[in-house]
């Protein structure tokens, strides 16, 4: 009997260890499974992602940033294609081709036509030129954004005084790397009382100076006195 008990004891211990190991394996497998299905963020709406991002979801934040960068790249490619088409039309010397591009909302052709119409002494054509300039600004022409934005910020040439809207319009051109718009934005931030921000004025003067605008360097020197 003693021998049987001695032989039986290791066997019972082995079974116990095996049962313990099996239990641990099961627990590991259970814990390794995701607690909820992985979301396909690419199919989520911006609204849902924004809510999730504001709630602290890092994956939603990353997806929103990815979409923002993709939109910036897409807009840059679209604008470059429009610029190339406009340059080709100008090189051809065909005014009809330029007008056709303007009618199709090419921002560069629109502002080109706007400048021609604004230079006319015909009040009707001048008004058409202003409408072209506004359409060009909306379509992304930095020259048009600077032209319209400055007049809005000052309330001149028929534009009501809208300092905030005008500054934001100029800012769009500056963010596209337009040197004169960078300088103008610095001036607006320095001199425009409703929107004055000397820190931002200095930053935009610095960017304009780096882009080669002589007046921006002088403005920086004046702010340092």
Give pLDDT tens digits for 126-161.
Answer: 999 999 999 999 999 999 999 999 999 999 998 999
107-128: pLDDT as tens digits: 999 999 999 999 999 999 999 9
pLDDT in tens, 1-49: 444 433 343 434 444 544 544 454 444 444 444 434 335 677 788 888 8
- Domains of the chain, with CATH numbers? 58-140 (no CATH), 142-225 (1.25.40.10)
Largest CA distance in the chain: 124
Asked if residue 200 lies in contact with residue 190, where contact means CB atoms within 8 angstroms, the answer is no
Residue carrying the six token digits 């001149």: 156
Report the predicted TM-score, pTM, of the whole model to 2 decimal places. Answer: 0.71
């Amino acid at each position: 009997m003693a021998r049987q008990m001695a032989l039986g004891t290791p066997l019972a211990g082995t079974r116990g260890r095996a049962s313990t190991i099996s239990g641990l394996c099961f627990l590991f497998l259970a814990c390794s499974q995701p607690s909820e299905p992985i979301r396909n963020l690419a199919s989520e709406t911006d609204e849902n992602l924004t809510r999730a991002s504001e709630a602290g979801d890092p994956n939603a934040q990353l997806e929103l940033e990815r979409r923002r960068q993709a939109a910036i790249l897409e807009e840059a490619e679209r604008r470059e294609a429009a610029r190339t088409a406009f340059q080709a039309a100008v090189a051809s010397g065909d005014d009809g081709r330029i007008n056709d591009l303007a009618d199709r909302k090419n921002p560069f052709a629109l502002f080109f036509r706007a400048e021609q119409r604004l230079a006319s002494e015909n009040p009707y054509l001048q008004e058409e030129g202003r409408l072209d300039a506004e359409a060009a600004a909306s379509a992304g022409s930095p020259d048009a954004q600077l032209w319209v934005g400055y007049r809005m910020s000052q309330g001149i040439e028929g534009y009501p005084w809208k300092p905030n809207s005008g500054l934001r319009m100029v800012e769009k051109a500056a963010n596209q790397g337009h040197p004169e718009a960078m300088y103008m934005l610095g001036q607006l931030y320095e001199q425009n009382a409703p929107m004055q921000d000397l820190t931002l004025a200095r930053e935009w003067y610095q960017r304009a100076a780096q882009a080669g605008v002589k007046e921006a360097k002088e403005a920086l020197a004046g702010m340092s006195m």
